Each structure stands twice: as C-alpha cells, then as structure tokens.
Amino acid sequence: MRKLSCVARFVLVAFVVVVAARSPARAAQEVAVRLSAELGGDSGLYATGGSKTLLQAELGYAHTVYSFRRGQLWVEGSWTIGERHDRLFSTFDTSLLVQQFTVGARATFPIRPWLVPQVRGGVGALLGTLRMNGLQSGAVSETGAGFTGYVLAGLQLLLPRPWMALHASRGITAGLVLEGGYCYSTSLRYTLSPQSSGDAVQMPSVPTDLGTLSLSGGLIRIGALLRF
C-alpha cells in the first residue's frame, strides 16, 4: 500500500505539472492513442505469456510550451496499460497487468507541415499486478511498483490542412505517429504468501520470493493523434 500511495502522489503531481504547464497563447494541444510493443523484457515474462514482448495501449496528452525556429517543445503525460495472461507449468493461471504513468518532454522538428520528426523522453511510475490462480493456498494478486523512463525517436505524419501553410497558425488536424526507442524500468519484485481467508486466524507465514520482473527493453510504438 505504501508503494501505491507513492505512485498515486506521483500521478497527481504529474497531472498537475502537465496540464498546468504554462503554454503560449497559441499553443497546440494533442491527444494521442498509441499501441506499443515492449521488446526484450526478461524471461520471467514467460510466466504470463508465450513471448517476452509486452503489448500496451497508451493514452497521451501533450501541449506546446515553447517554439524555436521551426520546431516546438512539448510537455506530455501519458497512461499506458497492458495485460497478458497464460498458464504456468500447465497448472497455474497467471496474468500480469502493467500500467505506466509518465510525464515527459518532446521536441518536434517539422520538415514539412505534415512531416514532423520528433524525439521525446520521460519518466514515471510503473505498476505491475501479478495474479496467480490454481494454488491451494489461495489466489495471489500482488502489485509491484517501480520507476520507468523512456527515450523515443519517431515521425509524425499529419493530414495536410490549409492552415498549416500559414506561419504560426493553429488548427485541427490528425495524424499517425511511428516511433522507436528504449524503455528502462526498475525491476518489480514479487512474493507469494497464503491468502488470508476472511476473519479466520491463520498461522504465521513466510513469504516465498517469486523473483523479479524487468520490463526494460526496446520499444516500438504506433499511434493516432489529434492535434488542435
């Protein structure tokens, strides 16, 4: 619970930072939905799926805070979520729910109004909930928390709109974003203890160390964005 309250505080502060970040009067804003594949996590991921690749969906919000020459600096916040489940050792049903709450900065360098390379990086909190069923000592659900950070480079492909031809203009458009990079996460540690059964007085237990999960690895993302 202490880990969770830390994360909750972080999410709240991050939300305030991103939304309240002072923006120029003619700032652009963006809402994006992305699908990400995190590649090359550790082999512990095999406990919850057939590969080491973790698929996640991301909902992001960003707005510009500074313009330079032809480029712009953005602040962004995002919530990423992904779940996988499988059967471990043909006996235990397992699942892993991963959530990331991140804040970051992005720099865009338009080549054409509709072709915008970008780099971005951010930090945040990682929550991973491991569930395990099929144990005689009761189902296990434990949430581990950690730090996460990412560095990505990619390309935005925007729908060309008439307002884009005007200098410092602002309007609505949509587009696609393709990006790749690296995500670092501190390991999530899990232990297993017998589930408490209501108000029954149980014997003291010794937690079993299930080991750690590391989600660090390469990252590719594709998404749709709406800019306004």
Partner 1 sequence: MRLPLLMLLVAGCGDRPDAWTAALDVSGPYPLVDSVAWVDGARGEIFWLDPATSPPSVLTLAAGRTASFALPTPDRKRLLVLTSGREATKRGQTTIAPALLVVERMGAAPAVTATYPLTSPFDRLAVAPDGTRAIAFYSASPPSDPAFFRNPNELAIVDLTSAPDANTNPAHRTIRSLGSSPLGVVYAPPLQIPPGMGDERALAVVLSTNYVTFLDLAHGDRSEITVPLVPIGSSATVTPEQVVFSPETATVFVRAQGAADVFALALAAQTPTDPAENDFVPRINQPSTGKTALDMILYNDGASTILLTANASNDVALIDATTAEFSTLPMGAPVDSILAVPPGQPTTAVLFSRSSPQSFVQFVALKDLSANLARNVTRRTLAQPVHDLVATPDGNQLIVVHDDARTVISILDLGPRRTDTPIDGQVVLQSYAFAGSRFLAGVSSSLSRLGILDLTTLATRDLRLDYAPARVLSVGTRLIVDHGAPEGLVTVVPDATSPREDTRVLSGIFLQRALDAELGN
Per CB under 8 A, residues contacting partner 1 are 35-37, 39, 42-44, 46-47, 49-55, 87-92, 134-137, 140, 178, 190, 192-194, 197, 200-206, 208-213, 220, 222
Token pair in block for residue 75: 């602040």
To partner 1, the closest distance from the beta carbon of 44 in angstroms equals: 3
Token pair listed for 222: 């594709």
**Owner of token pair 């800019």:** 227
| Closest distance to partner 1 from the beta carbon of 200 (Å) | 8
Min dist CB 48 to partner 1, Å, is 9
The alpha carbon of residue 176 and the mean position of all alpha carbons in its chain are separated, in whole angstroms, by 18
Nearer to partner 1, 16 or 178 (CB): 178
Among 108, 103, 119, 123, smallest CA distance to 19 is for 103
CB of 69 to partner 1, least distance (A): 31
The set of residues, in sequence order, having a beta carbon less than 8 Å from that of 25 and lying 6+ positions away, is none
CB of 107 to partner 1, least distance (A): 23
Classify residue 215 as exposed, middle or buried by CB count within 10 Å of its CB (0-12, 13-18, 19+).
buried
Q: Which residues contact 182 (CB under 8 A, 6 or more apart)?
A: 150, 151, 152, 216, 217, 218, 219
The beta strand positions in 14-91, using DSSP E, are 29-39, 54-68, 71-88
Query: In 3D, which of 77, 74, 37 has the Cα closest to residue 60?
Result: 77
Q: Smaller CB distance to partner 1: residue 23 or 212?
A: 212
CB of 182 to partner 1, least distance (A): 16
Which CB sits closer to partner 1, 54 or 75?
A: 54
Q: Give the nearer residue to partner 1 in terms of CB position, either 29 or 193.
A: 193
Question: Computed from CA positions of residues 51, 53, 54, 57, in that sequence, does the dihedral angle turn out positive or negative?
Answer: negative
